Amino acid sequence: MAIVDTDLVVVIPGIMGSTLVRNGHEFWGLSPRTLARGIATLGRELEALRLPEGIGDNHPDDGVEPGRVMPDMHLVPGVWSTTVGYDALLTFLRRECGLRDGENLLAFAYDWRLSNRYTSRRLHREVAPMLARRRRSHPGAKVVFVCHSMGGLVARWFVGFEAAGADVRAILSIGTPHRGAVATVERLLHGIGGRLGAKLGLPEIARSLPSMYQLLPEYAFVEDRGDLYNATEYALPELDPRRVADGIRFHEEIDGRDRPLSPIHAIVGIEQKTVTTVRSSHGTLVFQHTIDGEDERGDGTVPRLSARPKAVAGDDSALHYVVAKHGALPSARGVFDQIRGVLTANPRVHKARPEAISVDVGDLLEAGASIPVVAHHPDPYAVLEARVVDEAGSVVRASRILGSSGAGTRREGVLAPIGPGGYELQVRRRHGSGGWDVNTVTTPFLVI
């Protein structure tokens, strides 16, 4: 019998991937359009995210509770990168895999500010009774976790510390920073979005969130005097060393409790320029895309080396690769194919061979400014097209990015300014003389 007919599938979003409700009012769940137009009140909303000192693995009793899994594009400036949302993933599971909410599908919303240890305890309280009900009609039912980003860390803690070993069949991690992400250091120190990010969401808010420290790299990533050091060996400026140490201890604990009864199918985003290490230069940190002199690439947020658990070798057959940016992974067709293969045990639906296109564009842009696009493709003669698609799915800007014999792999283009809102940048390649490849590299961004 196919897994999808038996098991309970639990979707766990990444950081910022759930709405937050306070005293019955959804105060964090802004659509891009609302976010872009509501700058006057956004600062107050972000300030409400701040947690008190010493919160640890507990709830602050501040009246904030999780609402629902975030349906559309979302971004907290200064906390994490833009993510498309989970509507496409949940629609795929319902329509193409036949899953039913409340029966064999649970979209798990959680307060992403809090420690992943706390979240895992809450996950157990929701999953245990639902699995028990499922087993009344399907005695062999187990749990299959489908997790994006930080959600994979929640699932691994659940398997190691909360669940019986026989309760979980598999974890599908989609762009999970199993070994942490250097992007977290950048967010904790500087935030994102430059001047706009500083205006809308100060890094001090991010520094109050236990979950952010649990996203710090556990591997040696600070280059100084010819050697590499991890976060507990090298004092990171402005970060509380106790919180840093606890974040690294979180990784050590889940690495020490991984259970072979619950295999991890890691889906890794590749071919995007990704910060992987930092170099200490005269007391400041310079963020780099290389480690030991090599540029391994990644999904633009999570390095390739980190998107797999520490115990999984880089050439392990459990690893699956998708050419996509971190925030677009939950809606990538290649990811859906991998999920289908694990859930149904049927041959996965093969698409056209993905082209190794990588894309650079800012997460947060200012209305009225041109949109610079940098793309890379190994074929110097490749014809690339960049398109901007709005929330309704309409193409609002498009521009060819032509290759030439002297251009190498780099392509540059500029798109005309667009109004405030949430958008996706899509880059695709022309094949032959008749059309475009079905594979595109998609990255979400916000215009304010």
What domains can be seen in the chain, in order of their start residue?
3-344 (3.40.50.1820), 358-447 (2.60.40.2550)
Quote the tokens at residue 335: 């990811």
pLDDT at 405: 46
Q: For the ranges 56-70, 121-135, 430-444, which has the lowest average pLDDT? A: 430-444
pLDDT at 358: 75
Position 437 confidence tier, pLDDT thresholds 50, 70, 90: low
Residue 242 pLDDT exceeds 50: yes
pLDDT at 411: 79
Q: For the ranges 16-20, 79-83, 105-109, which has the lowest average pLDDT? A: 79-83
What mean pLDDT is predicted for residues 12-23? 88
Q: For the ranges 146-150, 256-260, 313-317, which has the lowest average pLDDT? A: 256-260
Residue 433 pLDDT exceeds 70: no
pLDDT at 224: 86
Quote the tokens at residue 247: 């974040």
Q: For residue range 380-389, what is the model confidence (pLDDT) as tens digits?
A: 777 788 888 8
Report which listed range, 77-81, 90-94, 338-342, 396-400, is most confident: 90-94
pLDDT at 398: 86
Report which listed range, 261-265, 366-370, 405-409, 432-436, is most confident: 366-370
Q: For the ranges 177-186, 217-226, 369-378, which has the lowest average pLDDT? A: 369-378
Q: For the ranges 93-97, 224-228, 248-252, which has the lowest average pLDDT? A: 224-228
Q: Comparing 317 with 154, which gets the higher pLDDT? A: 154
Residue 232: count other Cβ atoms within 10 Å of its Cβ: 15
Q: Comparing 195 with 293, which gets the higher pLDDT? A: 293
pLDDT at 213: 94
pLDDT at 322: 92
pLDDT at 78: 47
pLDDT at 436: 67
Residue 46 pLDDT exceeds 90: no
pLDDT at 1: 40
Q: What percent of the chain has pLDDT over 90?
A: 33
Position 31 confidence tier, pLDDT thresholds 50, 70, 90: low
What mean pLDDT is predicted for residues 282-292? 86
What mean pLDDT is predicted for residues 271-282? 89
pLDDT at 158: 93
Residue 281 pLDDT exceeds 70: yes
